[in-house]
Copies of this chain bind each other. A is one copy, B any other.
Amino acid sequence: MTEMQRLGERAREAAYQLGAASAGQKNEALESIAGALCRRAAEIIEANAADLVAARENGMSQSMIDRLSLDEKRIAGIVDAVRQVAALDDPIGEVLGGATRPNGIRIVKTRVPLGVVGIIFEARPNVTVDAAALCLKSGNACILRGGKEAIRSNTALAGVMRDAVAQVGLPADCIQLVEDTSRESANQMMKLSGYLDVLIPRGGAGLIRAVVENSTVPVIETGTGNCHVFVDASADLDMAVKIIVNAKAQRPSVCNAAETLLVHREIAERFLPAAARALAEKNVRLLGCGRTCAILKGIEPATEEDYATEFLDYILAVRVVDGVDEAIEHINRYGTRHSECIVTSDYANSQRFLQLVDAAAVYVNASTRFTDGGEFGLGAEIGISTQKLHARGPMGLREMTTYKYLIYGEGQIR
Question: Which of A166-174, A309-317, A358-366 is found at the contact surface with chain B?
Answer: A358-366
Q: What's the nearest-Cβ distance from chain B to residue A200, in Å?
A: 11
Complex Cα distance, B406 from A101, in Å, reads 35
A364 touches B409 (CB 8 A): yes
Complex Cα distance, B19 from A203, in Å, reads 32
**Which residues of chain B are within 8 angstroms of A319 by Cβ–Cβ distance?**
none
A105 contacts chain B at the CB level, 8 A cutoff: yes
**Which residues of chain B are within 8 angstroms of A407 by Cβ–Cβ distance?**
361-364, 366, 370
Complex Cα distance, B230 from A17, in Å, reads 21
Instruction: Please report whether the interface of chain A is mostly helix, strand, loop or mixed according to DSSP.
Output: mixed
**Which residues of chain B are within 8 angstroms of A19 by Cβ–Cβ distance?**
355-356, 358
Q: What's the nearest-Cβ distance from chain B to residue A182, in Å?
A: 23
A402 contacts chain B at the CB level, 8 A cutoff: yes
Question: Which of A35-43, A60-68, A210-218 is found at the contact surface with chain B?
Answer: A210-218
Complex Cα distance, B112 from A392, in Å, reads 11
A370 touches B414 (CB 8 A): yes
Tell me how many residues of A have a C-beta within 8 Å of chain B: 65
A367 touches B413 (CB 8 A): yes
Complex Cα distance, B242 from A410, in Å, reads 12
In chain A, residues 396-414, which have Cβ atoms closer than 8 Å to a Cβ of chain B?
402-414
Complex Cα distance, B115 from A360, in Å, reads 13
Q: What's the nearest-Cβ distance from chain B to residue A73, in Å?
A: 23
Q: What's the nearest-Cβ distance from chain B to residue A129, in Å?
A: 25
**Interface positions of A (Cβ within 8 A of B):** 16, 19-20, 99, 101, 105, 107, 114-115, 193, 197-198, 212-213, 216, 218-220, 236, 239, 242-243, 245-247, 250, 332, 354-356, 358-367, 369-371, 375-377, 387-390, 392-393, 402-414
Contacts A246-B413, A367-B412 given; 6 further ones with Cβ under 8 A? A16-B332, A213-B216, A361-B407, A364-B407, A366-B409, A366-B412
